[in-house]
C-alpha cells in the first residue's frame, strides 16, 4: 500500500507587526499562497455577484457595497498604517481601510462624522479644496469652522475648548480637530500627540490628512488619531495615472460609518484604478526613500542659493518644524516650498524656465513637479503670493539641481531686467 505524500505545509508567515513597512508595501494584500495561485490579485470587473436570500457575513452582493476589487489594496494600506484588523471586525466589515473614488470623496466622508452644527478646528494652511468644502458646509449651516495656526499649540487647544480670550465659555468644545502635518503648502509641523490629547479631552474626533507623509514617514493612528485620510492619487499610487482616496479607522463604529457613507453617497473606486494603485504601492518604499533623500539635498542647496529668499522644508535643521518632525516622523517627506527672488514675477519666471521639472499641480508622482500655489484664488490668503511648491520625484538629483539652478538664475535675470526697465521708465 502506497502512503500518500504529505501535503506541503504553508510556510510560516510573520505577523504584520513584525515586518517593516517597507516589506509590508510589497507583501501585504497578496492572494492566498497555494500551488498554482496567482502571485498578484486579479482585476475583478463585476458590478454584481451571485446571491439569494440574506447575504452571509462577508458575502458580496453589489459593486457599490463591496467588491473583491478593493480588498487587496485596503488590506495592504491597513497593514502599512498598522491598523488593528481584528478590532475593526475584519471578517465582517473588511479591512479598516476604505478606498474612495478620490481624495476629496474620502475627505467628505471623514467630515460627515461631524454632527450637524458641530465645530471643526482646522489649520489655516491646509489643502485648499478641503478649506473650500469646509467653507461651503459652514455657509449651509452643516457645521462651523475655526481656522488656527497649527504651529501654535496653545491657540489650537484654546480653539478646541471653545474658550474666548477672557477664559469664559465661547462656542463650546469642538467636535473635530482636522490636522495636516506637514501642512499643504506651508510645510508646518503640528505637535500631533499633544493636539490629539487635547482634542480627546473635550470629546473631539481627530482626523489627520497624512497624504504628504505617507505611512512610511508618519502613522497618525499610532499617535492617537481617530481617522487617517490619504489622497491615494499622490504617493500611494505614485504614477500620476489614477484619482483615488482612502480613510482608515481602528474603531469599528467609525469604520462602519465611513463605509456606509461610501455606500450611500456612491463615491466608489473603479476596479482597475484600485488595481493600479496597489501595483504602485509595491514600490512606495523605494520611491519615497529616493524622493526624500533628493528633497533633503535640494533643500540644503537651495537654502544657500543666491536667488532664493526662503526655503521651507522640515528636514532643514533651522526650519521651525524640524524638532517636532524629528520627534514624531520617520523622515521629512519630499515636498519643498521656496520663494525665489523677484516676488510673483520671479516665481512665475522660475516655473516657466524649468525644462526637466514639470509645471503641474498635484504631487507624489515619480516625476518632479512645481507650481506657484497662490495662482489658485481659493488658496489660503496667508500663503505667500510667491511661494512655489516642489514635489520631488525620483530623477537623478544632479539633473534636477542643474535644471532648478539654471531656472533660478534665468528667473533672477528676468526680474532684474524688469526692475531696470521700471527704473528707466521712471526717469522718462
Pairing state between β 245-248 and 97-100 = antiparallel
Dist. CA 403–CA 163, nearest whole Å:
50
What are 139-178's pLDDT values in tens digits?
Answer: 999 999 999 999 999 999 999 999 654 444 567 999 999 9
DSSP states of 128-197 as a string?
Answer: HHHHHHHHHHHHTTS-EEEEE-TT-HHHHHHHHHTB-TTSSB-S---SEEEEESS-TTT-----HHHHHH
Determine the angle formed by the axes of helices 397-427 and 284-303, rounding to 10 degrees: 40
Question: Out of 22, 30, 62, 64, which one is annotated catalytic?
Answer: 64
Q: Which CATH number fits domain 71-281: 1.10.10.60, 3.40.640.10, 3.30.2140.20, 1.20.1250.20?
A: 3.40.640.10
Cell of 317: 535643521
Instruction: State the pTM of this model.
Output: 0.91
Question: Out of 146, 191, 209, 319, which one is annotated catalytic?
Answer: 209
Question: Out of 127, 146, 287, 313, which one is annotated catalytic?
Answer: 127
| pLDDT on residue 18 | 75
Cell of 299: 533643500
Give the pLDDT mean for 253-258: 96
Instruction: Specify whether 127 is catalytic.
Output: yes
Domain assignments of the chain as residue spans, ordered by start: 71-281, 285-427
C-alpha angle 403/241/393, rounded to 5°?
30
The rounded mean pLDDT for the chain is: 91
Which of residues 272 and 418 earns the better pLDDT score? Answer: 272
Instruction: Specify whether 64 is catalytic.
Output: yes
Question: Out of 144, 161, 219, 234, which one is annotated catalytic?
Answer: 234
What are 223-245's pLDDT values in tens digits?
Answer: 999 999 999 999 999 999 999 99
Give the pLDDT mean for 76-87: 74
Task: Report the candidate in 106, 112, 125 with the shortest Cα–Cα distance to residue 190.
Answer: 125
Instruction: Specify whether 262 is catalytic.
Output: no
Q: Which CATH number fits domain 285-427: 3.30.1330.10, 3.90.1150.10, 3.40.1190.20, 3.20.20.100?
A: 3.90.1150.10
pLDDT bucket at 414, cuts 50 / 70 / 90: confident
Strands laid side by side in the 335-340 sheet? 308-312, 335-340, 388-391, 369-372, 358-359
What are 381-404's pLDDT values in tens digits?
Answer: 999 999 999 999 999 999 999 999
Amino acid at each position: 500500500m502506497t502512503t500518500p505524500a504529505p501535503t506541503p505545509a504553508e510556510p510560516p508567515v510573520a505577523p504584520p507587526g513584525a515586518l517593516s513597512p517597507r516589506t509590508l508595501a510589497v507583501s501585504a494584500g497578496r492572494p492566498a499562497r497555494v500551488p498554482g495561485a496567482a502571485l498578484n490579485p486579479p482585476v475583478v470587473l463585476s458590478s454584481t455577484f451571485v446571491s439569494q436570500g440574506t447575504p452571509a457575513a462577508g458575502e458580496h452582493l453589489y459593486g457599490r457595497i463591496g467588491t473583491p476589487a478593493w480588498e487587496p489594496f485596503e488590506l495592504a494600506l491597513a497593514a502599512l498604517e498598522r491598523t488593528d484588523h481584528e478590532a475593526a471586525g475584519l471578517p465582517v466589515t473588511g479591512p479598516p481601510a476604505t478606498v474612495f473614488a478620490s481624495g476629496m470623496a474620502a475627505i467628505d466622508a471623514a467630515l460627515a462624522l461631524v454632527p450637524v452644527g458641530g465645530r471643526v478646528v482646522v489649520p489655516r494652511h491646509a489643502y485648499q479644496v478641503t478649506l473650500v468644502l469646509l467653507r461651503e458646509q459652514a455657509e449651509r449651516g452643516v457645521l462651523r469652522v475655526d481656522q488656527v495656526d497649527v504651529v501654535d499649540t496653545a491657540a489650537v487647544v484654546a480653539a478646541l475648548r471653545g474658550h474666548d480670550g477672557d477664559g469664559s465659555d465661547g462656542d463650546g468644545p469642538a467636535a473635530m480637530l482636522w490636522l495636516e502635518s506637514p501642512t499643504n503648502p506651508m510645510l508646518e509641523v503640528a505637535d500631533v500627540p499633544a493636539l490629539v490629547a487635547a482634542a480627546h479631552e473635550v470629546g473631539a474626533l481627530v482626523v489627520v490628512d497624512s497624504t504628504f507623509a505617507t505611512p512610511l514617514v508618519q502613522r497618525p493612528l499610532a499617535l492617537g488619531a481617530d481617522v487617517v485620510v490619504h489622497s491615494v492619487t499622490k504617493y500611494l499610487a505614485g504614477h500620476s495615472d489614477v484619482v483615488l482616496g482612502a480613510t482608515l479607522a481602528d474603531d469599528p463604529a467609525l469604520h462602519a460609518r465611513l463605509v456606509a457613507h461610501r455606500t450611500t453617497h456612491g463615491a466608489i473606486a473603479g476596479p482597475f484604478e484600485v488595481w493600479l494603485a496597489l501595483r504602485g504601492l509595491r514600490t512606495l518604499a523605494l520611491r519615497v526613500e529616493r524622493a526624500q533623500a533628493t528633497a533633503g539635498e535640494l533643500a540644503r542647496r537651495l537654502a544657500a542659493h543666491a536667488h532664493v529668499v526662503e526655503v521651507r522644508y522640515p528636514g532643514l535643521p533651522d526650519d521651525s518644524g524640524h524638532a517636532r518632525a524629528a520627534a514624531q516622523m520617520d523622515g521629512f517627506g519630499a515636498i519643498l516650498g521656496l520663494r525665489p527672488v523677484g516676488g510673483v514675477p520671479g516665481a512665475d519666471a522660475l516655473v516657466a524656465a524649468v525644462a526637466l521639472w514639470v509645471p503641474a499641480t498635484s504631487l507624489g508622482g515619480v516625476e518632479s513637479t512645481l507650481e506657484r500655489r497662490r495662482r489658485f484664488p481659493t488658496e489660503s490668503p496667508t500663503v505667500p503670493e510667491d511661494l512655489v511648491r516642489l514635489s520631488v520625484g525620483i530623477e537623478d538629483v544632479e539633473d534636477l539641481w542643474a535644471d532648478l539652478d539654471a531656472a533660478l538664475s534665468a528667473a533672477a535675470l528676468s526680474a532684474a531686467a524688469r526692475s531696470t526697465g521700471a527704473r528707466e521708465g521712471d526717469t522718462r
